[in-house]
Structure 1
Amino acid sequence: MGMRFRKSVKICKGVRVNFSKSGASLSLGGQGHSLNVGGRGARATVGIPGTGLSYSKSLTSGHRSKSSRGYHNSTSANRETGAAVPSQVQLVMNAEGRVEIRDKNGALITDQSVIRKIKATDSYKNMVRNLETQRQEKLDEIYNNSIDDNSKFIDIYKMSPQVDNEEQYINILNSLRPPVYVKKEFEIIYPTEEHIRNILIAEARENVKGNIFNVGKLRREYVTANLQNRLNTAIADWEQKKSQFDMEEAANEVSQNERFNTEFIANKQYLINLINGEDEEVTNTVESWISSCELPVEIDVDYDWHKAAHIMYLDVDLPEIEDIPNQEIVRLTSGNLKEKKKSQATLKQEYVNLVFGLAIFISANVFNASPSIKGITISGYTQRRNKDGDINDEYVYSIKFVRDIFESSILKNVDPRDFCMRFENRCNITSSMLMKKIEPYAAEDGYASTDSRPVNKTALYIENNVQASDYISNEIVENSITDIKSREQLIMQSFANSLEQNNLAISYKTKRLNDGSLEVSYKGRVLGAINVENNNHYITYQMGNSGKYKQFDGEDNELAENTAKWIRYILNYI
């Protein structure tokens, strides 16, 4: 069970130096990558295996003096080396950066005169530098990939989505519109006299014969005699086809729009039922997500939706600690890499992060299935052997998540265990990170509370005469908008839409001031106020981050447009 993130990377395979009458030839790399340095200069060739594509680039001029050519061809020069140069040798750089020179059979060359001759060449020096650069780049790639792979496996919670609030669902519902069928354009070009004349000229050339003296006249007469009749026929044919096309498109428009409207009504009703927490829609949405979810670990999820309590119960078959890769790559002070076995303490800590991170990831996605899901009781179990050697399921945590805390949290930035411990839970973890068996919560254990968040009742309205009270808790808490006037609705709805368009959480709060104006704050920072009392209509907003406010007077729609200044303040200073 589970996926292992183990990758094999070969470094600097198959580096060779070949010698021939024309000089030494140094070759690097396996398939698709070689560098030959010979008597005619250096040329690098890089190919993409399996594609047939490659390019070459000259690295040196390859010019040699007469004396240097004589040196290579001189037998006395060979005698000066004190040893014969092998016809073929291999140059090998290992993962630690050591270079060895071997003969064609793989035996290490120890004759220092031959080694000195090879090492004295600029080609050898350049190649060693290139090999070292490539080696370091490859080591960096291996190290970074190993960190990323381990992080993706352990830190699944970082993939958790932002949990949407109820207002965002209702805004989506209100923005739904059925698509409208766009009729196709009639593409046949209207026949013109010029077009018909050209057709007749072509026909005359093909069919009208005569001698050199009268053939031109005969063809012109043919065109003139047939032009008007042919044009009238073409126009009548075009009009008939266009009339038939327009009739078909009109019928198609009616049928397609009926289909679009039927689908729209069904989709809108589905979303309404989802907001209401209807059993079928909620369970279908949750099951659809679970079945389509892909993770680097294999898990099973059982779920049970309790509509009356607004609670989803989840049982998760957790991965085992053995599913975590037990090897890690570390970088030595020399810059080289070493693979070593993780300590048991590291594996236990990573396992704790993994299983609590799974709880956060799964619950965040399930919360987003429906805003009616106010709480999630998630219990995780694993398989362990008892004293008799039998494998049994043992629960290791059971947590009662509350939606409003998820909505206000940036989940990718939390510590998985600390975040889960903020909620009512059953979990027994020792100081050595051993997760002991617990008894999970049952449905009859209930929740102390699933809704501690203020409800903005005026912003949560639904079109088509559906009452917001059908979807919203009746509980009113401090600073809820209970008396916003109809004019203020327009302004606040514009502000909410702007928040959504800028991917900002719709979580503002309002407070009625003594002068009758409505103060608006976001994440604890006062943005300004709106006042539509009597004939004095204005909106205030901060000037930069100075704490000073400027007033804009105008009509209601102008005040709504000026809530953009609040958005700008949020983006710049909050």
Structure 2
Amino acid sequence: MAVRFRKSIKLAPGVRMNISGSGLGWTLGPRGASIGIGKRGARLNTSFMGFSSSQKLSGPSKKARPTPHKNQSTLVSLTCALHDDGTLTFQDADGNDLPEHVIEAAKKQNKEQILGMIQRKCDEINSSVEALGAIHLDTPSCTSRPAFIEVPFGEPEPTPPLLRKPNLLDRLFKKRMQRLTAQNAEAQAHFAANRSMWTEQQTKHLQQEQERRRLIEEGIYASTSDMETWLEYNLQDICWPRETDISLEVLDDGKHVALDVDLPEIEDMPTATASVPSRGLKLSVKTLSATATQKLYMAHVHAIAFRIVGETFAALPKATQVTLSGYSQRPDKATGRITDEYLFSVRVGRGAWSDIDFGRLTDVDVVEALARFDLRRQMTKTGMFRPIEPFSQ
């Protein structure tokens, strides 16, 4: 039986912020604030709660003011893009690069917004790195049994429409009355359809809750297929930083659980960290070394194994032993073909697992934690793996 988990974090190739407006020449700025750049110089225009003001920033004196011409208004849309390498680009609506003076005006007027965009991108890059080695921090304790907690149906019941009552003119004119009657009938039909759909969704939700109650209170103690279903439910509920495939089988009437985990590839690991310099509008991106990437991968795959073992013991009270083997796709040095190579295989007993202090998981080194159990692993200190033969079921 195989379980395919959704990819929960997907790094986009760039973050974009749009700055648009209209006016004489170029107009830059968010809603409520803009810089107009044209033949008369630059002006700062602001508005708040219905009040507007305009302040001259630069330009010729009143004596040098040119004669206004008709049809001088230009609509301009600027796009500021922050890329993964930390560079900022400014382009117009057609994708053309903008003059430097326009870029500088955009940066000056929208400094806080651009800084916020840069900081968000920095946090996104760094959090994607940190999340890989922190999956185990939410591992549940296996000391308590699963308990059913009902999830209420969240959709509010549709409210009946307020039907319009006929007035004197409606009663006097037949067509007005017919139109009013048709509008009320349409509103009632729309309400009836919405309520029917709501009732159907509510019934489905209640059935799912009843099935979940049965699984928790009965199934996980009596049926191995129910045990597998409940374990899949719990594993699928986790937000995995990378796509993770798991095959599982419940054996010995629920006492033994065997799991095969298709681990992410080292090529899928993030390749950089980021920081925001104190000066300038830019993002500093630092490439991870090969050794740092290997160590990150080592922490990630062990954190996956730790979390899955913990989730299995917490979900299945009858399980006394978990055997988990993690493999990866790698090229065979003799043939060049891509094959599955097992990186580690571990057997864990519930008694030894319960010795872990789940209230202090931040102090747990998952690489060392798995070594406490019956473990097959050939790995260097920097996280380079050699293939091993996994435990049989």
C-alpha spacing 1:266/1:357, structure 2 compared with 1 (3 Å): closer
Task: Give 1:236's aligned residue.
Answer: none
Following superposition, the deviation at residue 321 of structure 1 comes to 1.0
Task: Give 2:158's aligned residue.
Answer: none
Q: Which structure 2 residues correspond to residues 37-56 of structure 1 after superposition, within 5 A?
A: 42-44=44-46
Following superposition, the deviation at residue 379 of structure 1 comes to 0.7
Task: Give 1:318's aligned residue.
Answer: 263
C-alpha spacing 1:107/1:92, structure 2 compared with 1 (3 Å): same
C-alpha spacing 1:327/1:57, structure 2 compared with 1 (3 Å): farther
Q: TM-score, normalised by structure 2?
A: 0.60
Per-residue CA distance 1:328-347 (angstroms, 9 max, x = gap) = 43444646313343321121
Following superposition, the deviation at residue 316 of structure 1 comes to 0.7
C-alpha spacing 1:422/1:128, structure 2 compared with 1 (3 Å): same
Per-residue CA distance 1:129-171 (angstroms, 9 max, x = gap) = 443333322221221122123333453323x3422424x45xx
Task: Give 1:507's aligned residue.
Answer: none
Instruction: Output the amino acid matched with 1:375.
Output: Q
The runs of 5 or more residues in structure 1 that have no matched partner are: 47-54, 75-85, 110-114, 119-123, 177-259, 444-574
Q: Does the aligned pair in 1 maintain the 2:16–2:81 contact within 8 Å? A: no
Task: Give 1:250's aligned residue.
Answer: none
Following superposition, the deviation at residue 360 of structure 1 comes to 1.8
* Residue of 405, 416, 426 corresponding to 2:376: 426
* Residue of 140, 146, 151 corresponding to 2:119: 140
Following superposition, the deviation at residue 315 of structure 1 comes to 0.9
C-alpha spacing 1:157/1:44, structure 2 compared with 1 (3 Å): farther
- Work out the CA distance in 1 between the residues paired with 2:288 and 2:245: 27
C-alpha spacing 1:99/1:438, structure 2 compared with 1 (3 Å): closer
Task: Give 1:181's aligned residue.
Answer: none
* Residue of 302, 307, 310 corresponding to 2:247: 302
C-alpha spacing 1:419/1:58, structure 2 compared with 1 (3 Å): farther
Q: TM-score, normalised by structure 1?
A: 0.43
Give 3-state SS (helix, strand or coil) of 1:297's partner: coil
Task: Give 1:254's aligned residue.
Answer: none
- Work out the CA distance in 2 between the residues paired with 1:265 and 1:383: 38
Instruction: Output the amino acid matched with 2:27.
Output: S
Instruction: Output the amino acid matched with 1:399.
Output: V
Following superposition, the deviation at residue 427 of structure 1 comes to 1.2
Q: Which structure 2 residues correspond to residues 122-521 of structure 1 after superposition, within 5 A?
A: 129-158=108-137, 160-166=138-144, 168-169=145-146, 172=147, 267=213, 271-272=217-218, 274=220, 276=221, 278-290=223-235, 295-307=240-252, 310-332=255-277, 334=279, 336-386=282-332, 387-404=334-351, 405-406=353-354, 408-410=357-359, 412-413=361-362, 414-443=364-393
Instruction: Output the amino acid matched with 2:323.
Output: T
Q: Does the aligned pair in 2 maintain the 1:377–1:400 contact within 8 Å? A: yes
Task: Give 1:528's aligned residue.
Answer: none
The runs of 5 or more residues in structure 2 that have no matched partner are: 1-5, 91-95, 151-205
Following superposition, the deviation at residue 8 of structure 1 comes to 0.7
Greater RCO (CA < 8 Å, at least 6 residues apart): 2
Over the aligned positions, Cα root-mean-square deviation in angstroms equals: 5.0
- Work out the CA distance in 2 between the residues paired with 1:270 and 1:134: 49
- Work out the CA distance in 2 between the residues paired with 1:131 and 1:273: 59
- Work out the CA distance in 2 between the residues paired with 1:97 and 1:391: 36
Task: Give 2:199's aligned residue.
Answer: none
- Work out the CA distance in 1 between the residues paired with 2:66 and 2:80: 30
**Structure with greater Cα Rg:** 1
Q: Does the aligned pair in 2 maintain the 1:155–1:357 contact within 8 Å? A: yes
Give 3-state SS (helix, strand or coil) of 1:377's partner: strand
Q: Does the aligned pair in 2 maintain the 1:317–1:381 contact within 8 Å? A: yes
2:16 is equivalent to residue 10 of structure 1: yes
- Work out the CA distance in 2 between the residues paired with 1:43 and 1:161: 53
Following superposition, the deviation at residue 361 of structure 1 comes to 2.0
Q: Does the aligned pair in 1 maintain the 2:33–2:44 contact within 8 Å? A: no
- Work out the CA distance in 2 between the residues paired with 1:344 and 1:44: 50
Give 3-state SS (helix, strand or coil) of 2:315's partner: coil
Residues paired across the two proteins, number: 308
Following superposition, the deviation at residue 73 of structure 1 comes to 5.3
Instruction: Output the amino acid matched with 2:28.
Output: L
* Residue of 45, 68, 72 corresponding to 2:65: 72
Instruction: Output the amino acid matched with 2:246.
Output: V
Give 3-state SS (helix, strand or coil) of 1:428's partner: strand
- Work out the CA distance in 1 between the residues paired with 2:80 and 2:229: 58
Per-residue CA distance 1:453-480 (angstroms, 9 max, x = gap) = xxxxxxxxxxxxxxxxxxxxxxxxxxxx
Hey, which of these two has a bigger chunk of strand by percent?
2
Following superposition, the deviation at residue 367 of structure 1 comes to 1.7
Following superposition, the deviation at residue 422 of structure 1 comes to 2.8
2:64 is equivalent to residue 58 of structure 1: no
Give 3-state SS (helix, strand or coil) of 1:10's partner: strand
- Work out the CA distance in 2 between the residues paired with 1:140 and 1:149: 14
- Work out the CA distance in 1 between the residues paired with 2:264 and 2:350: 25
Following superposition, the deviation at residue 435 of structure 1 comes to 1.2
- Work out the CA distance in 1 between the residues paired with 2:378 and 2:89: 54
- Work out the CA distance in 1 between the residues paired with 2:89 and 2:347: 60
C-alpha spacing 1:377/1:56, structure 2 compared with 1 (3 Å): farther
Task: Give 2:156's aligned residue.
Answer: none
C-alpha spacing 1:139/1:372, structure 2 compared with 1 (3 Å): same
C-alpha spacing 1:292/1:142, structure 2 compared with 1 (3 Å): closer
